[in-house]
Structure 1
Amino acid sequence: MRRRGEDLPLPREVRVLAIVAFVVALGFGVVAPAIPLFVRDYGVGTTAVGFAVSAFAFFRFVSAFGSGSLVERAGERVVLAAGLVVVAVTTGAAGFAGNFPLFVGLRAAGGVGSAMFTVAALSLLLRTAPAAQRGRAAATYQGGFILGGIAGPAAGGFLAEISPRVPFFVYAGFLLVAGAVALVLLRPAALPPVGTPPAATAAADEDRAPAPGLRSALRSRAYLAALVANLGVGWVLFGVRNSLVPLYVTEELGQTVAWAGAGLLAGSVAQAVGLLRAGRLSDSWGRRPSLVLGTGLATASIAVLVLPPSTVVFLLAMATFGLGASLLASVPAAVVGDVSPARGGRVVAVFQMVADLGAVTGPLVAGWLTDAFSFQVAFAVSAGVLGLGLLAALAMPRTVRPAA
């Protein structure tokens, strides 16, 4: 009896990419607590600290599309390893930077390398994972990032106590290890072996076919839904949740920072647990209903924060958002893989760019709305951004489940 596609083992490339993602996220978590302390040593103010952090994200955003074009020309494996080396070299050099402008310049160059790695890794993941496993593959990959992101900051805080420079050198070392792993274990795509069944050969031919252009992808309602959903992920998960939630807990709920940490932890744990099922749900139930569920949970969880302040409601909202985020971490990426199963660097790059755009603009808009009006207005607008993803998911065409 033939096994269902989602029950088969994942391709080796997916497991390797998950390990690389864990190492990268672990290193990033190590260096994150040290950046404000390190920049302060230059004698600059808080605004300059924020500028140093934003430089990395901004250059990551503006270079993503070029990274997608580079992937289409040079291949994912080369661009992925090169991106990791760029971030490793610039991060290690930043630890030796003797002045603030040089430090910011090195961080900006690191953002370019980060874009190269991210676009190449996701492009390779979606190209090598069969259609019936793309949701599970994306969930496995994101799980590596989440686990590394949870473990990194604790070690980073300890290392920063020794010296603010030490985390930069440790992060650079992690990245070089990840780059070596990528070069050694991510083998170039091979032709199907002799005797490959016709169905498998057809699938392999599809993977080697020219990638559909970006214009063609933008005419797909499924791809547009993935973009809008990913914008909400960047806006709330990578932006508002980290910038606004701690202030909401201390100023609106009147609780200590520890309660903010508890809420963020509840969301991270729920997301990690949800990822165990989110990928399989996307592959077995279908992309459209899974995306509707993910955007629906995320929208509702942020919308309830518009209600009168309550610590219990806040904790439940963070946990519910984590469950929704587990679906949003895997389903939109699987949709992009369905739209562009061959090497589609620019298609993947635009998908990544909308998340970065949300991560940059979300905190700025939500912060302004909070100062001008209230936390509730900021959360209402954020829920509206997530709600656009729900509407786009509902507008997706109804399709059969991915083929086994």
Structure 2
Amino acid sequence: MAATEGVPWRSRTVQVVLCSTAVAPLGVPLISPALPAFRDAFSLTEAQTSLLVSGYFLVGIVLSPFVGILVDRLGRRRVLVAGLLTFGVLGGAIAFAPSFEVVIALRVVQGTGAAAIFIATVTIIGDTFEGVQRTAVLGVNVAVLSAMAALFPVVGGLLVGISWSAPFLAYLVAVPVALFAFLGLDEAPHSNAGYGLSALADAVVGIATPGTLALLCITFLTEFLAFGVVFTTLPFLLAPVLTAVLIGLLILAAEVASMAAAATSGRLARRFSPMQLVAVGFVGYGSGFLLLGASSWLPLVVLSMGLAGGGIGLLLPSVDAALTARVRPEHRAGALSLRNSTTFLGRFAGPITFVGLAGPVAGLGYRPLLFGAGVVALCVAGLVALGSRRA
């Protein structure tokens, strides 16, 4: 691969972005194995416990577009540093929360910091790199995200053995990362042409095409299934037969597969279009969910997590690469902020939907939902593949 197509590892911009991305999986993967222990500590139902995941994304759904405006108005570095500090300080404070209501309040505000991290990092990549190199850096960014998301469930499973609150102290690592971003990141040029809601309206107009709207729908479905199945259904489904550490190891299998797939996305982008990679990603998703619904036999569960993880590793960088290529630079932060709202909406809706449908009200159970998720993913794969042939 040519130098202009590879990842410039010595770039301080790349280093800051990857360090910032590395703390992001503290948001959910770290605490996913701890959900049953958190439920028991506060005497909650499973639906109430799922708010620990969904509440984290609630504010980000609404505020992400306005965070995108701040990224353009105040600059990428300022918003990234503020996001890291909010994420770390409020996350650490949860360990000392006296009640479930306080925990949820802190999680909701903490989600705003997470939105700032996601939007600022991807916007910085879009500003700094172009073409195949942009896809390569986005792929490595997702690979780092997956690597940390692979590690953190195991760490969370170990920490929850100490106390339900111990995993939340790990959020404080975001504070020194914020200092590194402040000292090491040069502010990229940004547009000040738009103000307030007019900037958001410009971003909406800039992405209001069938292709970009389809990418937002794909983003929603990707996150809806990932957080509904992998991070919520899996722990509750397997909690009666496996320990929290083993559940964390299964999530690790998904994340390792995601990391491997994302790391190769830059090379694959030289031969395949982003939408072709999206289609393959949904095939992995669908196959993994169908296998998970078929049996709790541990080797089969590991295989299913590998397939699903590989799917998301192809989906995320391919969607971001396609979206950043379709919008003009002056609309990039706004467009990515709308993408982030869609991302958070999927992450918010997934846990609530799956737990709600599986619970006593609807009474469907988790396994039928897994079969349904697998069929939906495979159907989407077919539609994307058909659309990419006609394009």
TM-score range, shorter chain: 0.7 to 0.9
Q: What is the rounded CA distance, in whole Å, between the counterparts of 2:263 and 2:219 in structure 1?
A: 20
Letter in 2 for 1:63: L
Query: Conserved in 1, the CA contact under 8 Å of 2:204 and 2:335?
Result: yes
Q: Name 2:354's counterpart in structure 1.
A: 366
Contact 1:29 1:152 (8 Å CA) reproduced: yes
Q: Give the corresponding residue for 1:323.
A: 310
What is the Cα deviation at residue 47 of structure 1?
5.6
Matched, 1:265 2:252: yes
* Partner AA of 1:238 in structure 2: F
1:149 aligns with: 149
List gaps (5 residues or longer) in structure 1: 192-209, 400-404
Match of residue 395, structure 1, among 380, 384, 387:
387
Cα deviations across residues 269-320 of structure 1 (Å, max 9, x unaligned)? 2222222212321244322322222223323333455657766554433222
Q: Which amino acid aligns with 1:358?
A: G
Deviation at 1:81, TM superposition (A): 0.8
Q: Do the aligned partners of 1:288 and 1:394 also contact (CA within 8 Å) in 2? A: no
Identity %: 23
For the pair 1:379 / 2:370, whether they are aligned, the reply is yes
1:385 CA drift (Å): 4.2
Q: Please list the CA deviations of residues 358-385 of structure 1 after superposition, one character each: whole Å capped at 9, or x if unmatched.
A: 2222233333444533545312432354
Which of 219, 236, 244 aligns to 2:209? It is: 219
With over 3 angstroms needed to count, the CA separation of the structure-2 counterparts of 1:8 and 1:101, relative to structure 1, is closer
Number of positions where the alignment pairs a residue of Structure 1 with one of Structure 2: 375
| Structure 1 residue 104: Cα displacement | 2.9
C-alpha distance in 2, partners of 1:163/1:5?
A: 48
- Secondary structure of the residue aligned to 2:269 is helix
Select the residue among 289, 306, 313 that pairs with 2:276.
289
Query: Per the alignment, in what secondary structure is the counterpart of residue 218 of structure 2?
Result: helix
Q: TM-score, normalised by structure 1?
A: 0.78
Contact 2:21–2:118 (Cα < 8 Å) also in 1: no
Q: Which residue of 1 aligns with 2:195?
A: none
Q: What pairs with 1:178-197 in structure 2 (closer than 5 Å)?
A: 178-189=177-188
AA matched with 1:180: L
Query: 1:380, 1:28 → 2: CA distance?
Result: 24
Contact 2:126 2:324 in 1 (8 A): yes
RMSD: 3.6
Letter in 2 for 1:88: G
Deviation track 1:53-83 (CA, whole Å, cap 9, x = no partner) reads: 4322212322212212222222221111111
Q: Distance in 2 between matches of 1:92 and 1:41?
A: 18
Distance 1:220 1:182, change over 3 A: farther
- Aligned in 2, Cα 1:316/1:171: closer, same or farther, shift over 3 Å? closer
Q: Where do residues 48-127 of structure 1 align in structure 2 (5 Å cutoff)?
A: 48-127=48-127
Equivalent residue of 1:372, what SS? coil
Shift of 1:390: 4.9
Match of 2:133? Answer: 133
Q: Give 1:242 deviation, angstroms.
A: 2.2
CA distance in 1, matches of 2:185, 2:50: 36
